[in-house]
Chains A and B, each alone.
Chain A
Amino acid sequence: MLEIDNINSFYGKAHVLRDLSFSVPRGKVVALLGRNGAGKTTTMKSIMQLVRPETGRIQFGDHAIVGLPPHKVAKLGMGYVPEERRVFTDLTVAENLLVGRQPPREGAVTWTEEMLFELFPNLAERRNNRGKALSGGEQQMLTIARTLMGNPSFVLLDEPSEGVAPVIVEQMAKVIQQLKSEGLTVLLSEQNLHFAQAVADLAVIIESGAQVFYGSLTELNAKPEIRDAYLAA
Protein backbone atom coordinates (compact mmCIF):
# COMPACT_ATOMS: atom_id res chain seq x y z
CA MET A 1 0.00 0.00 0.00
CA LEU A 2 2.75 2.43 1.02
CA GLU A 3 6.38 1.93 0.09
CA ILE A 4 9.00 4.26 1.47
CA ASP A 5 12.21 3.81 -0.39
CA ASN A 6 15.47 5.41 0.72
CA ILE A 7 14.18 8.85 1.57
CA ASN A 8 16.33 11.67 2.95
CA SER A 9 14.60 14.63 4.52
CA PHE A 10 15.93 17.82 5.99
CA TYR A 11 14.41 20.16 8.51
CA GLY A 12 16.04 23.48 7.96
CA LYS A 13 19.68 22.47 7.83
CA ALA A 14 19.33 19.37 9.96
CA HIS A 15 19.47 16.04 8.13
CA VAL A 16 16.57 14.28 9.84
CA LEU A 17 15.76 11.19 7.78
CA ARG A 18 18.64 9.13 6.44
CA ASP A 19 17.97 6.55 3.73
CA LEU A 20 14.79 5.56 5.47
CA SER A 21 12.87 2.63 3.95
CA PHE A 22 9.91 0.60 5.11
CA SER A 23 6.53 -0.45 3.84
CA VAL A 24 3.01 -0.54 5.19
CA PRO A 25 0.88 -3.44 3.92
CA ARG A 26 -2.78 -2.85 3.07
CA GLY A 27 -5.18 -3.26 5.97
CA LYS A 28 -2.53 -3.35 8.66
CA VAL A 29 -1.78 -1.07 11.58
CA VAL A 30 1.91 -0.26 11.68
CA ALA A 31 3.46 1.48 14.65
CA LEU A 32 6.34 3.85 13.99
CA LEU A 33 8.38 3.88 17.16
CA GLY A 34 11.44 5.73 18.32
CA ARG A 35 12.51 8.32 20.79
CA ASN A 36 11.74 11.99 20.42
CA GLY A 37 13.90 13.53 17.77
CA ALA A 38 14.34 10.17 16.04
CA GLY A 39 12.38 11.53 13.09
CA LYS A 40 8.87 10.14 13.56
CA THR A 41 7.03 13.38 12.90
CA THR A 42 9.33 14.20 10.00
CA THR A 43 8.54 10.77 8.55
CA MET A 44 4.83 11.52 8.79
CA LYS A 45 5.30 14.95 7.25
CA SER A 46 7.52 13.53 4.52
CA ILE A 47 4.80 11.08 3.53
CA MET A 48 2.28 13.91 3.49
CA GLN A 49 4.76 16.06 1.53
CA LEU A 50 4.60 18.76 4.18
CA VAL A 51 8.33 18.18 4.31
CA ARG A 52 9.68 17.29 0.91
CA PRO A 53 12.25 14.48 0.88
CA GLU A 54 15.37 15.58 -1.00
CA THR A 55 15.99 12.12 -2.40
CA GLY A 56 14.20 8.78 -2.46
CA ARG A 57 10.79 7.53 -3.53
CA ILE A 58 7.47 7.09 -1.83
CA GLN A 59 4.97 4.88 -3.60
CA PHE A 60 1.35 5.17 -2.43
CA GLY A 61 -0.84 2.63 -4.22
CA ASP A 62 -0.18 3.30 -7.89
CA HIS A 63 1.29 6.74 -7.37
CA ALA A 64 4.75 8.09 -6.73
CA ILE A 65 3.99 10.94 -4.37
CA VAL A 66 7.30 12.70 -3.72
CA GLY A 67 7.02 16.21 -5.07
CA LEU A 68 3.23 16.38 -5.09
CA PRO A 69 1.65 19.21 -3.12
CA PRO A 70 0.05 18.01 0.15
CA HIS A 71 -3.50 18.49 -1.05
CA LYS A 72 -2.89 16.11 -3.97
CA VAL A 73 -1.54 13.49 -1.59
CA ALA A 74 -4.68 13.92 0.49
CA LYS A 75 -6.83 13.58 -2.64
CA LEU A 76 -5.19 10.21 -3.31
CA GLY A 77 -6.67 8.95 -0.05
CA MET A 78 -3.99 9.77 2.47
CA GLY A 79 -5.41 11.09 5.73
CA TYR A 80 -3.15 13.01 8.10
CA VAL A 81 -3.77 13.52 11.80
CA PRO A 82 -1.02 15.81 13.08
CA GLU A 83 0.51 15.80 16.50
CA GLU A 84 -0.48 18.60 18.88
CA ARG A 85 -4.12 18.45 17.62
CA ARG A 86 -4.38 21.25 15.19
CA VAL A 87 -8.13 21.75 15.31
CA PHE A 88 -9.47 25.00 13.92
CA THR A 89 -10.29 26.52 17.27
CA ASP A 90 -12.48 29.32 15.92
CA LEU A 91 -14.63 26.92 13.91
CA THR A 92 -17.36 24.77 15.37
CA VAL A 93 -17.06 21.00 15.50
CA ALA A 94 -19.39 20.70 12.50
CA GLU A 95 -17.37 23.28 10.54
CA ASN A 96 -14.13 21.50 11.36
CA LEU A 97 -15.63 18.37 9.87
CA LEU A 98 -16.75 20.33 6.81
CA VAL A 99 -13.18 21.43 6.11
CA GLY A 100 -12.18 17.79 5.96
CA ARG A 101 -15.00 16.71 3.65
CA GLN A 102 -14.02 15.14 0.33
CA PRO A 103 -16.00 13.23 -2.29
CA PRO A 104 -16.53 9.48 -1.74
CA ARG A 105 -13.65 7.29 -2.78
CA GLU A 106 -13.83 3.89 -4.36
CA GLY A 107 -12.66 1.15 -2.05
CA ALA A 108 -12.86 3.27 1.10
CA VAL A 109 -15.56 3.88 3.67
CA THR A 110 -17.64 6.98 2.97
CA TRP A 111 -17.98 8.66 6.32
CA THR A 112 -20.87 10.88 7.27
CA GLU A 113 -21.15 13.21 10.20
CA GLU A 114 -23.61 10.77 11.82
CA MET A 115 -21.24 7.83 11.53
CA LEU A 116 -18.45 9.85 13.08
CA PHE A 117 -20.63 11.02 15.94
CA GLU A 118 -21.40 7.36 16.56
CA LEU A 119 -17.69 6.61 16.68
CA PHE A 120 -17.00 9.64 18.89
CA PRO A 121 -20.14 10.14 20.99
CA ASN A 122 -18.55 13.04 22.93
CA LEU A 123 -18.37 15.08 19.77
CA ALA A 124 -22.08 14.71 18.95
CA GLU A 125 -23.18 16.81 21.89
CA ARG A 126 -20.47 19.32 21.07
CA ARG A 127 -21.52 19.71 17.44
CA ASN A 128 -22.03 23.48 17.58
CA ASN A 129 -19.28 24.29 20.06
CA ARG A 130 -16.16 25.98 18.86
CA GLY A 131 -12.94 24.00 18.78
CA LYS A 132 -11.41 26.05 21.56
CA ALA A 133 -14.18 25.02 23.95
CA LEU A 134 -13.22 21.35 23.65
CA SER A 135 -11.01 19.48 26.09
CA GLY A 136 -7.70 18.08 24.94
CA GLY A 137 -9.15 14.61 24.49
CA GLU A 138 -12.13 15.90 22.53
CA GLN A 139 -9.83 17.92 20.30
CA GLN A 140 -7.79 14.81 19.60
CA MET A 141 -10.95 12.95 18.59
CA LEU A 142 -12.03 15.84 16.42
CA THR A 143 -8.77 15.81 14.46
CA ILE A 144 -9.25 12.13 13.76
CA ALA A 145 -12.90 12.60 12.79
CA ARG A 146 -11.99 15.55 10.57
CA THR A 147 -9.47 13.45 8.70
CA LEU A 148 -11.94 10.59 8.30
CA MET A 149 -14.37 13.02 6.59
CA GLY A 150 -11.97 12.89 3.65
CA ASN A 151 -12.76 9.16 3.26
CA PRO A 152 -9.12 8.14 3.35
CA SER A 153 -7.93 4.65 2.60
CA PHE A 154 -4.82 5.28 4.66
CA VAL A 155 -4.42 7.24 7.88
CA LEU A 156 -1.27 8.76 9.36
CA LEU A 157 -1.72 9.19 13.11
CA ASP A 158 1.05 11.27 14.65
CA GLU A 159 1.38 10.60 18.39
CA PRO A 160 -2.31 10.40 19.21
CA SER A 161 -1.62 9.44 22.82
CA GLU A 162 0.75 12.29 23.60
CA GLY A 163 -0.46 14.46 26.45
CA VAL A 164 -3.89 12.92 26.88
CA ALA A 165 -5.17 11.10 29.92
CA PRO A 166 -4.76 7.31 30.02
CA VAL A 167 -8.56 6.98 29.99
CA ILE A 168 -8.70 8.74 26.60
CA VAL A 169 -5.79 6.71 25.30
CA GLU A 170 -7.78 3.57 25.93
CA GLN A 171 -10.68 5.01 23.96
CA MET A 172 -8.29 5.93 21.16
CA ALA A 173 -7.07 2.34 21.01
CA LYS A 174 -10.64 1.14 20.46
CA VAL A 175 -11.12 3.62 17.65
CA ILE A 176 -7.99 2.45 15.87
CA GLN A 177 -9.11 -1.16 16.13
CA GLN A 178 -12.44 -0.19 14.62
CA LEU A 179 -10.77 1.67 11.75
CA LYS A 180 -8.76 -1.44 11.03
CA SER A 181 -11.87 -3.56 10.98
CA GLU A 182 -13.33 -1.13 8.41
CA GLY A 183 -10.39 -1.96 6.16
CA LEU A 184 -8.29 1.18 6.69
CA THR A 185 -4.54 1.04 6.74
CA VAL A 186 -2.91 2.97 9.58
CA LEU A 187 0.57 4.24 10.24
CA LEU A 188 0.78 5.30 13.84
CA SER A 189 3.74 7.10 15.39
CA GLU A 190 4.08 6.46 19.09
CA GLN A 191 6.30 6.67 22.09
CA ASN A 192 3.92 4.71 24.28
CA LEU A 193 4.93 1.12 23.61
CA HIS A 194 2.01 -0.26 25.59
CA PHE A 195 -0.41 1.60 23.41
CA ALA A 196 1.37 0.42 20.27
CA GLN A 197 1.24 -3.15 21.50
CA ALA A 198 -2.48 -2.86 22.06
CA VAL A 199 -3.28 -1.84 18.48
CA ALA A 200 -0.46 -2.51 16.02
CA ASP A 201 0.32 -5.53 13.80
CA LEU A 202 3.80 -4.44 12.82
CA ALA A 203 6.39 -2.11 14.24
CA VAL A 204 9.07 0.04 12.65
CA ILE A 205 11.68 1.49 14.95
CA ILE A 206 13.71 4.44 13.76
CA GLU A 207 16.72 6.01 15.36
CA SER A 208 18.43 9.16 14.06
CA GLY A 209 16.20 8.99 11.01
CA ALA A 210 17.20 5.48 9.98
CA GLN A 211 15.35 2.22 10.37
CA VAL A 212 16.73 -0.10 13.04
CA PHE A 213 13.93 -2.65 13.32
CA TYR A 214 11.04 -3.82 11.18
CA GLY A 215 8.84 -6.73 12.16
CA SER A 216 5.87 -7.91 14.12
CA LEU A 217 5.33 -6.92 17.71
CA THR A 218 5.86 -10.51 18.76
CA GLU A 219 9.31 -10.40 17.20
CA LEU A 220 9.98 -7.11 18.90
CA ASN A 221 8.99 -8.54 22.26
CA ALA A 222 11.39 -11.38 21.65
CA LYS A 223 14.24 -8.94 21.24
CA PRO A 224 14.41 -7.06 24.51
CA GLU A 225 17.86 -5.71 23.60
CA ILE A 226 16.36 -3.67 20.76
CA ARG A 227 13.48 -2.58 22.88
CA ASP A 228 15.81 -1.41 25.61
CA ALA A 229 18.24 0.29 23.27
CA TYR A 230 15.77 2.40 21.32
CA LEU A 231 12.67 2.51 23.45
CA ALA A 232 12.15 1.71 27.08
CA ALA A 233 9.98 -0.61 29.05
Chain B
Amino acid sequence: MTVVLETKGLTKSFGGLVAVDDVSFQLHKGELLALIGPNGAGKSTCFNMLMGQLKPTAGEVFLQGENVTGLTPRRIWRKGVGRTFQITSTYASMTVIENVQMALLSHNGEVFRFLSFAHKRYREEAMALLDMVGMAEQAERHCAVLAYGDLKRMELAIALAHDPALLLMDEPTAGMAPKERVALMQLTSDIVADRGVSVLFTEHDMDVVFSHAHRIMVLNRGALIAEGTAADIRNSELVQEVYLGGGTLFSAEEDAHA
Protein backbone atom coordinates (compact mmCIF):
# COMPACT_ATOMS: atom_id res chain seq x y z
CA MET B 1 0.00 0.00 0.00
CA THR B 2 1.20 3.48 -0.81
CA VAL B 3 2.09 5.63 2.16
CA VAL B 4 0.56 9.10 1.74
CA LEU B 5 1.62 10.68 5.00
CA GLU B 6 4.35 9.66 7.36
CA THR B 7 5.77 11.27 10.47
CA LYS B 8 9.03 10.30 12.09
CA GLY B 9 9.66 11.27 15.71
CA LEU B 10 7.47 14.35 15.51
CA THR B 11 8.04 16.44 18.65
CA LYS B 12 6.96 19.89 19.78
CA SER B 13 7.78 21.59 23.03
CA PHE B 14 6.64 24.98 24.27
CA GLY B 15 9.16 26.18 26.79
CA GLY B 16 9.58 23.22 29.13
CA LEU B 17 6.28 21.60 28.21
CA VAL B 18 6.44 18.78 25.69
CA ALA B 19 3.11 18.97 23.86
CA VAL B 20 3.84 16.31 21.28
CA ASP B 21 6.41 13.68 22.10
CA ASP B 22 8.09 11.54 19.46
CA VAL B 23 5.03 10.71 17.38
CA SER B 24 5.58 8.42 14.40
CA PHE B 25 2.87 6.98 12.21
CA GLN B 26 1.92 6.22 8.63
CA LEU B 27 -1.26 6.93 6.72
CA HIS B 28 -2.02 4.84 3.64
CA LYS B 29 -3.83 5.68 0.47
CA GLY B 30 -7.61 5.55 0.83
CA GLU B 31 -7.45 5.19 4.60
CA LEU B 32 -9.60 6.95 7.22
CA LEU B 33 -7.38 7.30 10.26
CA ALA B 34 -8.68 8.73 13.52
CA LEU B 35 -6.57 10.48 16.13
CA ILE B 36 -8.28 10.57 19.52
CA GLY B 37 -7.30 11.53 23.04
CA PRO B 38 -8.23 13.80 25.97
CA ASN B 39 -8.22 17.58 25.68
CA GLY B 40 -4.70 18.89 25.82
CA ALA B 41 -3.23 15.59 24.68
CA GLY B 42 -1.57 17.31 21.75
CA LYS B 43 -3.98 16.52 18.92
CA SER B 44 -4.29 20.10 17.72
CA THR B 45 -0.56 20.69 18.06
CA CYS B 46 0.03 17.59 16.01
CA PHE B 47 -2.39 18.78 13.35
CA ASN B 48 -0.89 22.22 13.24
CA MET B 49 2.54 20.74 12.61
CA LEU B 50 1.22 18.57 9.79
CA MET B 51 -0.42 21.58 8.19
CA GLY B 52 2.53 23.90 8.72
CA GLN B 53 0.99 26.27 11.27
CA LEU B 54 3.64 25.18 13.77
CA LYS B 55 7.23 24.18 13.18
CA PRO B 56 8.19 20.93 14.93
CA THR B 57 10.93 21.05 17.55
CA ALA B 58 12.19 17.74 16.21
CA GLY B 59 11.11 15.07 13.77
CA GLU B 60 9.98 15.07 10.19
CA VAL B 61 6.84 14.95 8.10
CA PHE B 62 6.76 13.23 4.73
CA LEU B 63 4.05 13.72 2.16
CA GLN B 64 4.07 11.05 -0.53
CA GLY B 65 7.71 10.49 0.22
CA GLU B 66 8.66 14.16 0.11
CA ASN B 67 9.95 15.88 3.24
CA VAL B 68 7.58 18.78 3.96
CA THR B 69 8.72 19.54 7.51
CA GLY B 70 8.51 23.22 8.35
CA LEU B 71 6.89 24.35 5.10
CA THR B 72 4.24 27.07 5.36
CA PRO B 73 0.55 26.12 5.23
CA ARG B 74 0.40 27.61 1.73
CA ARG B 75 3.17 25.40 0.39
CA ILE B 76 1.74 22.29 2.03
CA TRP B 77 -1.67 23.05 0.54
CA ARG B 78 -0.11 23.37 -2.88
CA LYS B 79 1.41 19.94 -2.43
CA GLY B 80 -2.08 18.45 -2.23
CA VAL B 81 -3.27 18.65 1.36
CA GLY B 82 -6.73 19.97 2.19
CA ARG B 83 -7.99 20.74 5.66
CA THR B 84 -11.14 21.55 7.56
CA PHE B 85 -11.17 23.34 10.88
CA GLN B 86 -12.66 22.47 14.23
CA ILE B 87 -14.48 25.79 14.24
CA THR B 88 -15.49 26.56 10.69
CA SER B 89 -13.35 29.13 8.99
CA THR B 90 -15.13 30.62 6.02
CA TYR B 91 -15.41 33.90 4.15
CA ALA B 92 -18.50 35.27 5.83
CA SER B 93 -19.00 38.12 3.39
CA MET B 94 -19.24 35.87 0.35
CA THR B 95 -21.79 33.51 -1.09
CA VAL B 96 -21.35 29.76 -0.81
CA ILE B 97 -20.13 29.36 -4.35
CA GLU B 98 -17.76 32.31 -4.06
CA ASN B 99 -16.14 30.61 -1.08
CA VAL B 100 -15.35 27.64 -3.28
CA GLN B 101 -14.40 29.83 -6.24
CA MET B 102 -11.83 31.57 -4.06
CA ALA B 103 -10.04 28.28 -3.43
CA LEU B 104 -10.17 27.49 -7.15
CA LEU B 105 -8.80 30.92 -8.04
CA SER B 106 -5.93 30.32 -5.68
CA HIS B 107 -5.33 26.82 -7.02
CA ASN B 108 -5.17 28.19 -10.57
CA GLY B 109 -2.79 30.98 -9.59
CA GLU B 110 -5.20 33.83 -10.26
CA VAL B 111 -5.08 35.62 -6.92
CA PHE B 112 -3.11 38.56 -8.29
CA ARG B 113 -5.38 39.31 -11.25
CA PHE B 114 -7.05 42.68 -11.33
CA LEU B 115 -9.06 42.73 -14.52
CA SER B 116 -11.40 39.73 -14.57
CA PHE B 117 -14.56 39.43 -12.52
CA ALA B 118 -13.94 36.93 -9.75
CA HIS B 119 -17.50 35.71 -9.50
CA LYS B 120 -17.46 34.58 -13.12
CA ARG B 121 -14.38 32.37 -12.78
CA TYR B 122 -14.57 28.58 -12.29
CA ARG B 123 -18.28 28.54 -11.66
CA GLU B 124 -18.83 25.09 -13.13
CA GLU B 125 -16.00 23.52 -11.18
CA ALA B 126 -17.26 25.14 -8.00
CA MET B 127 -20.78 23.99 -8.69
CA ALA B 128 -19.59 20.42 -9.27
CA LEU B 129 -17.83 20.43 -5.91
CA LEU B 130 -20.90 21.82 -4.18
CA ASP B 131 -23.00 19.20 -5.88
CA MET B 132 -20.75 16.50 -4.53
CA VAL B 133 -21.35 17.61 -0.93
CA GLY B 134 -25.03 18.23 -1.60
CA MET B 135 -24.86 22.00 -1.42
CA ALA B 136 -25.61 22.90 -5.04
CA GLU B 137 -29.02 24.32 -4.25
CA GLN B 138 -27.57 26.71 -1.71
CA ALA B 139 -24.77 27.92 -3.96
CA GLU B 140 -25.98 31.51 -4.21
CA ARG B 141 -26.83 31.92 -0.54
CA HIS B 142 -24.86 34.24 1.70
CA CYS B 143 -22.68 31.89 3.69
CA ALA B 144 -23.21 33.85 6.93
CA VAL B 145 -26.82 32.65 7.07
CA LEU B 146 -26.08 28.93 6.59
CA ALA B 147 -26.84 26.33 9.22
CA TYR B 148 -23.75 24.97 10.90
CA GLY B 149 -23.94 21.57 9.26
CA ASP B 150 -24.13 23.18 5.83
CA LEU B 151 -21.11 25.33 6.63
CA LYS B 152 -19.20 22.17 7.45
CA ARG B 153 -20.18 20.65 4.12
CA MET B 154 -19.15 23.82 2.31
CA GLU B 155 -15.82 23.67 4.07
CA LEU B 156 -15.41 20.13 2.86
CA ALA B 157 -16.07 21.29 -0.72
CA ILE B 158 -13.40 23.98 -0.29
CA ALA B 159 -10.93 21.45 1.08
CA LEU B 160 -11.50 19.25 -1.96
CA ALA B 161 -11.18 22.09 -4.47
CA HIS B 162 -7.61 21.31 -5.50
CA ASP B 163 -8.20 17.56 -5.63
CA PRO B 164 -5.97 16.78 -2.65
CA ALA B 165 -4.36 13.45 -1.92
CA LEU B 166 -4.71 14.01 1.82
CA LEU B 167 -7.46 15.56 3.87
CA LEU B 168 -6.84 16.72 7.45
CA MET B 169 -10.06 17.17 9.39
CA ASP B 170 -9.93 18.65 12.89
CA GLU B 171 -13.01 17.46 14.78
CA PRO B 172 -15.13 17.43 11.63
CA THR B 173 -18.39 16.80 13.46
CA ALA B 174 -17.92 19.08 16.48
CA GLY B 175 -21.04 21.11 17.12
CA MET B 176 -23.29 19.00 14.92
CA ALA B 177 -26.36 16.98 15.76
CA PRO B 178 -25.85 13.20 15.87
CA LYS B 179 -27.69 12.59 12.62
CA GLU B 180 -25.72 15.25 10.81
CA ARG B 181 -22.55 13.73 12.19
CA VAL B 182 -23.36 10.39 10.68
CA ALA B 183 -24.29 11.99 7.38
CA LEU B 184 -21.11 14.04 7.18
CA MET B 185 -18.88 11.11 8.01
CA GLN B 186 -20.75 8.93 5.52
CA LEU B 187 -20.15 11.61 2.90
CA THR B 188 -16.48 11.68 3.82
CA SER B 189 -16.23 7.89 3.63
CA ASP B 190 -17.83 7.94 0.19
CA ILE B 191 -15.40 10.56 -1.02
CA VAL B 192 -12.52 8.53 0.34
CA ALA B 193 -13.81 5.51 -1.55
CA ASP B 194 -14.53 7.41 -4.81
CA ARG B 195 -11.47 9.56 -5.04
CA GLY B 196 -8.90 7.57 -3.19
CA VAL B 197 -8.26 10.44 -0.80
CA SER B 198 -6.68 9.65 2.54
CA VAL B 199 -8.11 11.23 5.65
CA LEU B 200 -6.65 11.92 9.07
CA PHE B 201 -9.19 13.25 11.54
CA THR B 202 -9.51 14.02 15.23
CA GLU B 203 -12.81 13.47 16.96
CA HIS B 204 -14.47 13.39 20.34
CA ASP B 205 -17.58 11.57 19.26
CA MET B 206 -16.69 7.94 19.84
CA ASP B 207 -19.71 6.77 17.86
CA VAL B 208 -18.32 8.53 14.80
CA VAL B 209 -14.84 7.21 15.40
CA PHE B 210 -15.81 3.61 16.02
CA SER B 211 -18.17 3.40 13.09
CA HIS B 212 -16.14 5.19 10.41
CA ALA B 213 -12.42 5.05 11.13
CA HIS B 214 -10.46 2.30 9.47
CA ARG B 215 -7.80 2.63 12.11
CA ILE B 216 -7.50 4.60 15.37
CA MET B 217 -4.56 6.14 17.19
CA VAL B 218 -4.76 7.35 20.79
CA LEU B 219 -2.69 10.28 21.97
CA ASN B 220 -2.15 11.00 25.66
CA ARG B 221 0.17 13.63 27.12
CA GLY B 222 1.70 14.10 23.70
CA ALA B 223 2.59 10.46 23.12
CA LEU B 224 0.89 7.73 21.10
CA ILE B 225 -0.28 5.13 23.61
CA ALA B 226 -2.35 2.84 21.43
CA GLU B 227 -3.14 2.12 17.83
CA GLY B 228 -5.42 -0.36 16.15
CA THR B 229 -8.95 -1.16 15.06
CA ALA B 230 -12.06 -0.02 16.88
CA ALA B 231 -12.23 -3.27 18.79
CA ASP B 232 -8.58 -3.05 19.87
CA ILE B 233 -9.04 0.46 21.17
CA ARG B 234 -12.32 -0.23 22.89
CA ASN B 235 -10.81 -3.15 24.73
CA SER B 236 -7.57 -1.47 25.70
CA GLU B 237 -7.52 -0.98 29.47
CA LEU B 238 -5.03 1.84 29.18
CA VAL B 239 -7.27 3.76 26.77
CA GLN B 240 -10.29 3.18 28.97
CA GLU B 241 -8.45 4.58 31.92
CA VAL B 242 -7.10 7.76 30.35
CA TYR B 243 -9.84 8.56 27.89
CA LEU B 244 -12.90 6.44 27.36
CA GLY B 245 -13.93 6.04 30.99
CA GLY B 246 -16.54 3.46 31.90
CA GLY B 247 -18.16 3.71 28.50
CA THR B 248 -21.57 4.71 29.83
CA LEU B 249 -21.72 7.84 27.75
CA PHE B 250 -21.33 6.48 24.29
CA SER B 251 -23.29 3.78 22.58
CA ALA B 252 -22.39 0.20 23.06
CA GLU B 253 -21.53 -1.67 19.90
CA GLU B 254 -24.91 -3.33 19.52
CA ASP B 255 -26.93 -0.16 19.08
CA ALA B 256 -24.35 1.99 17.33
CA HIS B 257 -26.02 3.19 14.15
CA ALA B 258 -27.68 -0.12 13.68
Most chain B beta-carbon neighbours within 10 Å: one of A137, A163, A165, A170: A165
B184 → chain A closest CB, angstroms: 11
In the assembled complex, the CB of A38 is this many whole angstroms from the nearest CB of chain B, namely 7
Q: Is A222 an interface residue (CB 8 A)?
A: no
Contacts of A137 in B (CB 8 A): 38-39
Question: What CA separation (Å) do A194 and B242 show in the bound complex?
Answer: 20
A177 to chain B, nearest CB (A): 13
In the assembled complex, the CB of B33 is this many whole angstroms from the nearest CB of chain A, namely 20
Is B257 an interface residue when CB atoms closer than 8 A count as contact?
yes
* B98 close to A (CB within 8 Å): no
The B interface, classified by DSSP as helix, strand, loop or mixed, is loop
How many angstroms from the CA of A166 to the CA of B257 in the assembled complex?
19
Are B149 and A198 closer than 8 Å at their CB atoms?
A: no
CB-CB under 8 A for A35 and B174, given A167-B243, A167-B245: no
Do residues B204 and A163 form an inter-chain contact, with CB atoms below 8 A? yes
> Closest approach, in angstroms, between the C-beta of A208 and any C-beta of chain B?
10
Q: A136-B39, A170-B249 are in contact. Are A36 and B244 (CB under 8 A)?
A: no
Flag if B206 contacts A166 (CB, 8 Å). Answer: yes
Contacts of B248 in A (CB 8 A): 170, 194, 198
In the complex, chain B residues whose CB is within 8 Å of the CB of A198: 248-249
Q: What is the distance, in angstroms, from A193's C-beta to the closest C-beta of chain B?
A: 8
Q: Are B38 and A165 in contact (CB under 8 A)?
A: yes
Chain A residues, Cβ within 8 Å of B38? 135, 137, 165, 167-168
B180 at the interface (CB under 8 A from A): yes
- The residue that A163 contacts in the complex, of B174, B250, B255, with Cβ under 8 A, is B174
Contacts of A169 in B (CB 8 A): 245, 249
Q: Chain B residues with Cβ under 8 A from A22's Cβ? A: none
Inter-chain CA distance A136–B39, complex, in Å, is 6
* A165/B204 in contact, CB under 8 A: yes
Bound-state CA distance A198–B148 (Å) is 27
Nearest-Cβ distance from residue A171 to partner chain B, whole angstroms: 9
A170 touches B245 (CB 8 A): yes
Q: Which among B39, B182, B243, B255 has the highest number of chain A CB atoms within 10 Å? A: B39
Instruction: Tell me which residues from 27 to 52 in chain A have a Cβ below 8 Å from any Cβ of chain B.
Output: 34-38
B175 beta carbon closer than 8 Å to chain A: yes
Also in contact, A162 and B177, with CB within 8 A (given A167-B243, A233-B256, A233-B257): no
Residues of B within 8 A of A14 (CB): 145
Is the beta-carbon distance between A232 and B204 smaller than 8 angstroms? no
CB distance from A163 to the nearest CB of B (A): 6
Asked if B249 and A162 make an inter-chain contact with CB atoms under 8 angstroms apart, the answer reads no
Flag whether A214 is at the interface (Cβ < 8 A): no
CB pair A38–B177 under 8 Å, yes or no, is yes
Q: Does B176 contact A (CB under 8 A)?
A: yes
Q: Could you name 17 residue pairs across A and B whose Cβ atoms are closer than 8 Å?
A: A34-B177, A35-B177, A36-B180, A37-B147, A37-B149, A165-B204, A166-B247, A166-B250, A167-B38, A168-B38, A193-B178, A194-B248, A194-B251, A195-B249, A232-B179, A233-B178, A233-B258
* Contact surface of B with A, Cβ cutoff 8 Å: 37-40, 145, 147-149, 171, 174-182, 204, 206, 242-251, 255-258
